Chains A and B, each alone.
Chain A
Amino acid sequence: MNEQELHDVVIEALTDVAPDIDPARIDPGADLGEQLAIDSMDFLNIVVAVHERTGIEIPERDYPKLSTLDDAVAYLLAAQQRGADA
Chain B
Amino acid sequence: MADFLMPSLGADMEFGTLLEWRVEPGDAVNRGDIVAVVDTSKAEIEVEIFENGVIDELRVPEGTRVPVGTVLATLRTGADDGPAPPGAPAMTVATTPDAPTGTVATAPSPKPAAMPPPPPPPPPVTLPQFASEEHRLRVSPVARRAAEQLGVDLTAVAGSGPDGAITKGDVERAAAAIARTIAPAAAAAGPAPTAAQAPPPTPPPAAPEERAGAMRLAIGALMARSKREIPHYYLQTQIDMSSALAWLEEENLRRSVSDRLLPAALLLSAVAGAVAATPAMNGFWVDGAFHPADGVHLGVAISLRGGGLIAPALHDADHKSLDELMAGLRDLVMRARTGRLRGSEMSDPTITVTNLGERGVDLVHGVIYPPQVALVGFGGIGERPWAADGMIGARPVVIATLAADHRASDGLAGSRFLTLIDHRLRKPEEL
- B306 CB–A CB distance under 8 Å: yes
The count of residues in chain A whose C-beta lies closer than 8 Å to any C-beta of chain B is 28
- The residues of B that contact A61 with a CB separation of less than 8 Å are 249
Interface string of B325-366 (1 = CB under 8 A from A): 000011001100110000000000000000001110000000
A76 to chain B, nearest CB (A): 13
- The residues of B that contact A8 with a CB separation of less than 8 Å are 136
Q: Tell whether, in the assembled complex, residue A19 and residue B252 are in contact, meaning their CB atoms are under 8 Å apart.
A: no
- The residues of A that contact B286 with a CB separation of less than 8 Å are none
Q: What separation, in Å, do the CA atoms of A44 and B330 have in the docked complex?
A: 9
- A16 CB–B CB distance under 8 Å: yes
- The residues of A that contact B141 with a CB separation of less than 8 Å are 16, 19
- The residues of A that contact B143 with a CB separation of less than 8 Å are 19
A52 to chain B, nearest CB (A): 8
- A51 CB–B CB distance under 8 Å: yes
Given known contacts A16-B141, A37-B305, A22 and B162 CB-to-CB distance under 8 angstroms: yes
- The residues of A that contact B257 with a CB separation of less than 8 Å are 47-48, 51, 57-58
Q: Tell whether, in the assembled complex, residue A44 and residue B334 are in contact, meaning their CB atoms are under 8 Å apart.
A: no
The count of residues in chain B whose C-beta lies closer than 8 Å to any C-beta of chain A is 32
B353 to chain A, nearest CB (A): 14
Given known contacts A39-B359, A40-B264, A59-B253, A20 and B334 CB-to-CB distance under 8 angstroms: no
Interface string of B248-265 (1 = CB under 8 A from A): 010011001110101110
Residue of A18, A22, A44 most packed against chain B (CB within 10 A)? A44
Q: Tell whether, in the assembled complex, residue B136 and residue A45 are in contact, meaning their CB atoms are under 8 Å apart.
A: no
- The residues of B that contact A18 with a CB separation of less than 8 Å are 305
Q: What separation, in Å, do the CA atoms of A51 and B138 have in the docked complex?
A: 21
- B163 CB–A CB distance under 8 Å: yes
Q: Tell whether, in the assembled complex, residue B258 and residue A20 are in contact, meaning their CB atoms are under 8 Å apart.
A: no
B147 to chain A, nearest CB (A): 14
Q: Tell whether, in the assembled complex, residue A40 and residue B357 are in contact, meaning their CB atoms are under 8 Å apart.
A: yes
Residue of A23, A33, A37, A60 most packed against chain B (CB within 10 A)? A60
Q: Tell whether, in the assembled complex, residue A20 and residue B262 are in contact, meaning their CB atoms are under 8 Å apart.
A: no
Q: What separation, in Å, do the CA atoms of A62 and B45 have in the docked complex?
A: 37
- A41 CB–B CB distance under 8 Å: yes
- B142 CB–A CB distance under 8 Å: yes
Q: Tell whether, in the assembled complex, residue B162 and residue A41 are in contact, meaning their CB atoms are under 8 Å apart.
A: no
Q: What separation, in Å, do the CA atoms of A83 and B161 have in the docked complex?
A: 38
Interface string of B134-171 (1 = CB under 8 A from A): 00101011110000000000000000011101000000
| A19 to chain B: closest residue by CB | B140
Interface string of A21-65 (1 = CB under 8 A from B): 111100000000110010111001101100110000111110000
Interface string of B213-225 (1 = CB under 8 A from A): 0000000000000
- The residues of B that contact A21 with a CB separation of less than 8 Å are 162
Q: Tell whether, in the assembled complex, residue A45 and residue B334 are in contact, meaning their CB atoms are under 8 Å apart.
A: yes
A45 to chain B, nearest CB (A): 7
Q: Tell whether, in the assembled complex, residue B163 and residue A41 are in contact, meaning their CB atoms are under 8 Å apart.
A: no
Q: Tell whether, in the assembled complex, residue A44 and residue B260 are in contact, meaning their CB atoms are under 8 Å apart.
A: yes
Q: Tell whether, in the assembled complex, residue B249 and residue A60 are in contact, meaning their CB atoms are under 8 Å apart.
A: yes
- A15 CB–B CB distance under 8 Å: yes
Given known contacts A39-B357, A60-B252, A60-B253, A22 and B260 CB-to-CB distance under 8 angstroms: no
| B138 to chain A: closest residue by CB | A15
B376 to chain A, nearest CB (A): 18
Interface residues of B (CB under 8 A from A): 136, 138, 140-143, 161-163, 165, 249, 252-253, 256-258, 260, 262-264, 303, 305-306, 329-330, 333-334, 337-338, 357-359
User: 20 extra interchain contacts, Cβ-Cβ under 8 A, other than A22-B162, A61-B249?
Assistant: A16-B141, A17-B338, A18-B305, A19-B143, A19-B165, A19-B338, A20-B306, A22-B163, A22-B165, A23-B138, A39-B303, A39-B357, A40-B262, A40-B264, A44-B260, A44-B262, A44-B330, A51-B258, A60-B249, A60-B252
Q: List 15 A-B contacts (CB under 8 A).
A: A15-B138, A18-B305, A19-B142, A19-B161, A23-B138, A37-B305, A40-B262, A40-B357, A40-B358, A41-B329, A41-B330, A45-B330, A47-B257, A57-B256, A57-B257
- Closest CB pairs A-B (n = 7): A19-B140, A22-B162, A51-B257, A48-B258, A41-B333, A60-B252, A39-B357
Interface residues of A (CB under 8 A from B): 8, 15-24, 33-34, 37, 39-41, 44-45, 47-48, 51-52, 57-61
